[in-house]
């Protein structure tokens, strides 16, 4: 969705099937609702705003989505999938868990810094829009737990950490990033990397090693 282009399909014989037309309309509607919500907020966004920007008729909108909430959920899902792919690819390039974790955090910060409107949608609007949106956001956050929990293998006793340690760490990271976005400082998110690395790794590697890797991440 981040690369979707808005605008109507060319008139005349464009050679597209009905399925291709519907997919094009869907992509434009997702891009449009993302832009409108980022600018105006979910509650102030109307379907009229979305279809106008997407150059799609209201009738076609309702053939694709039940309403504004379903369209916004689909847009959130598309953004979540994109961020997950970026994070997964970044982590896969590293040989060990600590550096995989650093690469994953860096990839997410750099994406949100480059796309502050998407940061607002993912971290702010998705939480406050509707209860279904808030649940979807919570599910996305919890999906990060298994990757972080791999750090328990770094410990002599993996069970020495409380069961909800990963939840607390990820929640803290999300909170720090969200505060920066709310303050209009999304572009400076990469500067948070050393602090977030220290915070995320210390329970598994100890304060000294986590601090070393945090310093290393700031120089990279």
Q: Read off the pLDDT of residues 190-208 as tens digits, 9 standing for 90 and up.
A: 999 999 999 999 999 999 9
The pLDDT score that the predictor gives to residue 18 is 74
How far is it, in rounded angstroms, from Cα 89 to Cα 108? 11
Answer for the pair 57, 51: CB distance below 8 angstroms, yes or no: yes
Q: What is the pLDDT of residues 118-147, one digit of tens each?
A: 999 999 999 999 999 999 999 999 999 999
Considering the entire predicted model, what is its pTM?
A: 0.88
24 has a pLDDT exceeding 80:
yes
- Long-range contact list for 139-148, CB < 8 A, 24+ apart? 140/80, 141/170, 141/171, 141/174, 142/167, 142/170, 143/84, 144/170, 145/170, 147/91, 147/100, 147/101, 147/104, 148/101, 148/200
Name the 3-class secondary structure at 220: coil
The pLDDT score that the predictor gives to residue 126 is 94
């Amino acid at each position: 969705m981040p690369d979707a282009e808005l605008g109507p399909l060319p008139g005349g014989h464009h050679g597209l099937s009905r399925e291709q037309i519907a997919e094009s309309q869907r992509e434009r509607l997702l891009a449009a609702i993302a832009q409108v919500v980022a600018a105006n907020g979910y509650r102030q966004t109307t379907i009229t705003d979305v279809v106008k920007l997407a150059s799609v008729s209201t009738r076609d909108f309702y053939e694709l989505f039940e309403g504004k909430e379903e369209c916004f959920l689909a847009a959130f899902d598309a953004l979540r999938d994109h961020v997950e792919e970026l994070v997964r690819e970044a982590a896969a390039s590293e040989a060990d868990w600590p550096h995989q974790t650093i690469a994953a955090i860096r990839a997410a910060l750099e994406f949100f810094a480059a796309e502050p409107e998407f940061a607002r949608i993912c971290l702010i609007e998705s939480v406050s829009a509707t209860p279904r949106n808030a649940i979807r956001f919570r599910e996305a956050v919890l999906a990060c737990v298994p990757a972080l929990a791999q750090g328990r293998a770094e410990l002599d006793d993996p069970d020495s950490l409380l069961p909800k340690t990963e939840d607390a760490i990820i929640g803290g990271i999300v909170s720090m990033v969200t505060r920066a976005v709310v303050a209009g400082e999304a572009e400076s998110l990469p500067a948070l990397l050393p602090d977030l690395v220290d915070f995320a790794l210390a329970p598994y590697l100890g304060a000294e090693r986590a601090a070393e890797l945090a310093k290393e991440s700031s120089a990279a």
